[in-house]
Chain A
Amino acid sequence: MVARIAGVFDEKLTEAIANSKILVVGAGGIGCEILKNLVLTGFPQIEIIDLDTIDVSNLNRQFLFHKEHVGKSKAQVAKDSALSFNPNVNIVAHHDSVISNDYGVSYFKQFNIVMNALDNRVARNHVNRMCLAANVPLIETGTAGYAGQVELIKKGLTQCYECQPKAPQKTFPGCTIRNTPSEPIHCIVWAKHLFNQLFGEEDPDQDVSPDTEDPEAAGTAGKTALSSQQTESGNIERKSTRTWAAETNYNPEKLFTKLFGDDIKYLLSMENLWKKRRPPTPLSWDNLPGKGDAPKQHSGLPDQRVWSVNECAEVFAASCQALQTELKGRPEGDHLVWDKDDKSAMDFVTACANIRAYIFSIPLKSRFEVKSMAGNIIPAIATANAIVAGLAVLRAQGILKGEIESCTSVYLRPKVNHRGQLFVPERTLTAPNPKCYVCAPKPEVALVCNLKHLTLKDLTAAFKDGLNMQAPDATVEGKGLVVLSSEPGETDHNNQKTLEEIGLNDGCALLVDDFLQNYEVRVRLQQEDEENSWRLVTDTDAPMPGPKEEEPANGSNGAEEPKPGPSRTHHDSDSDMEIIDEDDNGEPMEKPPKRRRKEVSDEIVEIC
């Protein structure tokens, strides 16, 4: 180990390394590299945590894993591989989520440095808060394709991860998804919702049937259609899609007829929607475009060929059956979790999205492209991870040496910039944002909502999705009245009451805290009659995370899940950075239009 054999490091650094204890959060692309670098630099005590297991698509960069490790715990295998080349290091592996009561502030306090090698914003926010609370320096890393970054976060000295609110996720209004899709992504989101309706965790916000409440469709046309439609086919009334599908034994033909025939006919009856739009064309199972065609020749990978509608229907049928079998094999009440790397799940979404796209004259996409968009895939390569991890460990050395002031952020650019730099370091540390709603001495934020409509349940969602809290408690400032409690059941009976009903009014302030995160923020309520949901406003002008209307599947770049899924998040990128150059996707395939027939959807966005 260099730290032991040579006088390369001065004594102070050598000693600091020998007495250090480091936590690495994430054992993915960057995590593997960081672990190797730490071990070879002579760091004696390391803990590594990751809840994920190894997937084949990790092997192109996560070099501590080999084929035989697929399916095993990343943290454990990373530890074993690292120990095999240096058995003298003390490595503790946790196959666990870092967002857990087991890793509280006192856990974080035992480390000299925490190094983040995460792939999602939720976990990053959480570790950011834990490190602020424990006052431990955090080295935050990320890559996307050829780009990458390393930054230091230290309470009171630098910006924290949340000082500059990140751009909110792109979301789609429910009626665009359910009634008037105009882009491939709308169909893909719909197909993912359909998956959950049929096989996954049912979520009432993910309804896939026509939305009769669509304000744009207001008028009598829809209502008359509703009554006439009901007599024609009994499937339109509000029956859970899952129940209905189970009753038909997931018969592909019946499912198809309802989803792509009857539901579309119903939409057509909402005439207001089609005044300025091209109306959709219902399909019938027996007469599908592309039937009888010889399979098309395609020079690229089979995955990159766009299927005909008939092929989509065949894949739809086959994947429906496969998923049904899988669902039946599970214990009663359990459900499937959509995973882009699961063959049937991905087939199902590709097929459904494309059939729907055809119906609405939206360009069809290959399975490869749908996977990118549905899975929020960010390209990831070994080289960028190696570079970023190398920088991160050098930064760790700088901190231990007591030169924290020199540990400025560094950005790796995809290509040399106009000043001849491939790496752009900041000149100085960036001071904390005094108005940050997380790391300011007395953090504060305004919640704009209509107190007459917003329920306590919505309020909980606002704190969880908007403020990224795990288990919020809220009391009224000055009165001590408990509005929300993280104790199960304690305030549940109030869930459906509006804020006004429990006596909260414009301008009153709540003290909201998350015990695990050791984080408290003062939330001022601000009445606005026009606000249908809620939004958070800080004194900075930057946008804040908003309500989660729809899955944020906004194409291949720069997005991540808004919250950890019920059982696990399945991500496969090493970052959620915003410095992404869309053109860096290379030109692996013809770039078909992303957005055609955009129509006038902008107007609807506001109304919904």
Chain B
Amino acid sequence: MASPSPKSPEQSEKNKQYDRQLRLWGDHGQTALENGHICLINATALGTEILKSIVLPGVGAVTIVDDNIVSDEDIGSNFFLECSSKNLNRGSEALRLIIELNPAVQGYAVQEPTDQILLDNPDFFKKFSVVIATSLSEKTIQTLSNHLWEINVPFILCRSVGFLGSFRIQLKEHAIVESHPDNEQHDLRLDVPFQTLFDYLNSFDIDSLDLKDHGHIPWIVILYKAVQKWKISNSNRWPMSRKEKNEIKAIIDQYKRLDDNGMPIYEENFEEALRAVNTALTPTFLPVKIQELLYSSSAINLTKESSPFWIMCSALRTFVEAEGKGKLPVRGTLPDMTASTDHYVTLQNIYRNQAAIDSEIVYRKVQEIVTQLHCDHISESEVKLFCRHAHDLHLIKGSSIVGEYQFNNTVSSYIARFLEEPDVMMVHYILLRAAEMFRSEHCRAPGEWEPESDISKLKTCVSKLLTDISCTPFPKDDHIHEMCRYGGAEIHSVSAFLGGCVAHEAIKIVTKQYKPVNNTFIYDGASTNTATFTF
């Protein structure tokens, strides 16, 4: 006997290394991550903790922008600086040690101040998938966030002071194709079966099958047959109410075979059909949320600059209006069920083939648009993925950080509402903002030199902010005292915790999977309280 040659696919080193995360976001998620380029401004302890959790899973590239020189305090709180780093550029040093974690990641360090880059070379930021910044001045925050808003680059602004931490995500427009909804509805089309499905469903005659085959009929067929029977005596309507659905259940019960004693034989597929009555009979429709997306002006008025998402939305709209007859493309997935392998595979192929036909049509429409507009190619697999998740597309239209800093009316009344309650987490937000204001006025953190005399200065900042949003001063000063005691120092565990959170969100944004926090997260390490706000 000839010894057969081993053909087992050798798993690449890379896939072994990333095995545990591929199971979370898939190959295409990993590819998106590997095409990502993250910019970190300021390699503080928080900054490097964030970068660590993005470099480990294998982002494509990172750039650190930092013009600071490494101090003793930096070495004490930052894992990615060594004693020998002292007096060297902080960004370059941190980069060197972070890149050691994963040699596959490209790393760049830029030693210019952010303000200077914004003045000389604002296009610098265009290439990034996400820009993350820590310990920025009030003024830079506004210039930078304004610029990133205009060029539509996602921005995460982070703070870690003492026991307090926060991040704010600025997304002008962020489209999520794979939102991973909690309970995905199945797309079975029993109310409007397409031709191949119609033929298949009608090829069954439940009563004539022998017992073994009877127990292998997919529940979809059982349910369909029951509804057809019901429709005859109900003027061809579709069952909607609970009462009507119970009538369907009664019909299914009648299909069951009886044993010698006249008792119904337990058959799993019939039980599944009964369980599915409540969920699987929802009529096929175009969700309002998706309809709004397809008819939004971005999807209708395409330009050369339109993103692939809007081009695909536009193509999808024409599909829905024409071939789809008001419905989205068939999703093409089939739930688990008790059935013989033959039945299951046939049924699966029927749905899959229809899904392939539908997405092929959408793809052709996409190609037409691309040719017309002379814009970048969109791959077929991208369109496929888009069609499969067409029921759960999600668009985030965020708000700008500049608006938040200038306390426009919406923001002021929003904050005021929480302060009236009073919500201690919103108090922390005000304190973080006040500390930032203090820093821009006095060029140091509150409490860094003179904790006692800084208390009144910080109090002045808090009052200014509260006046801006027409709120009364805080009844007690304890939070102000606390902030001065921190002296602007970072607590490593708080930064480590927050670093994980920010990396978490950055990965969601880069992979365009899962909905990120919208849009502000505040953390109090002393009480382990967290809160999210939407400014």
Contact = CB atoms under 8 A, between A and B. Distances in A.
Given A301-B27, A421-B532, A60 B492 contact: no
Interface stretch (B88-96, B168-176, B210-218, B312-320): B210-218
B333 interface: yes
A376 interface: no
Contacts of A531: none
Nearest to A315: B8
Interface in A559-608: 572-573, 581, 583-591, 593-600
A380 B21 CA distance: 6
B333 A590 contact: yes
Contacts of B300: none
B340 A278 contact: yes
Nearest to A601: B268
Contacts of B24: 145-146, 379, 381, 584-586
A323 interface: no
B514 A415 contact: yes
Contacts of B181: 583
Interface stretch (A1-9, A534-542, A543-551): A1-9
Interface in B1-34: 1, 3-11, 13, 15-27, 29
Contacts of B335: 593
B338 A599 contact: yes
B308 interface: no
Contacts of A584: 24, 180
A372 B79 contact: no
B185 to A, nearest CB: 13
Interface string A406-425: 10101000011000111101
A551 B498 CA distance: 39
Interface string A367-383: 10001100001111111
B21 A60 contact: yes
B4 A5 contact: no
A276 B211 contact: yes
Contacts of A420: 531-532
Interface residues of A, number: 103
B530 A318 contact: no
Contacts of B180: 583-584, 586-587
Contact of B517 (A299, A363, A388, A416): A416
Interface string A266-306: 00000000001110000000000000000000011111110
Interface in A6-64: 6-8, 33, 36-37, 40-41, 56-57, 59-61, 63
Nearest to B83: A85
A397 interface: yes
Contacts of B125: none
Given A299-B381, A416-B517, A597-B216, A315 B6 contact: yes
Contacts of A40: 45, 76-77, 79, 492
Interface string B268-311: 10000000000000000000000000000000000000000000
B75 to A, nearest CB: 9
Contact of B500 (A67, A278, A384): A384
Interface residues of B, number: 98
B101 A66 contact: yes
B20 A397 contact: no
A6 B488 CA distance: 10
Contact of A600 (B26, B266, B492, B530): B266
B489 A382 contact: no
Interface in B185-218: 211-212, 215-216
A66 B9 contact: no
Interface in B324-344: 333-341, 344
B56 A61 contact: yes
A277 B341 CA distance: 12
Contacts of B489: 2, 5-6, 8
Contacts of A361: 340-341
Nearest to A603: B266
Given A361-B341, A390-B500, A597-B338, A57 B528 contact: no
The 10 closest A-B pairs by CB, nearest first: A390-B497, A386-B500, A588-B26, A318-B6, A302-B9, A387-B500, A40-B492, A390-B496, A314-B4, A383-B504
Given A380-B20, A421-B531, 4 more contacts: A8-B486, A379-B24, A390-B498, A593-B334
Interface of A: 1-2, 4-8, 33, 36-37, 40-41, 56-57, 59-61, 63, 66-67, 84-85, 145-146, 253, 276-278, 299-305, 311, 313-315, 317-319, 321-322, 341, 343, 347, 361-363, 367, 371-372, 377-391, 393-395, 397, 406, 408, 410, 415-416, 420-423, 425, 556, 572-573, 581, 583-591, 593-600
9 contacts: A37-B493, A59-B56, A276-B212, A299-B381, A319-B8, A343-B8, A379-B20, A386-B500, A599-B215
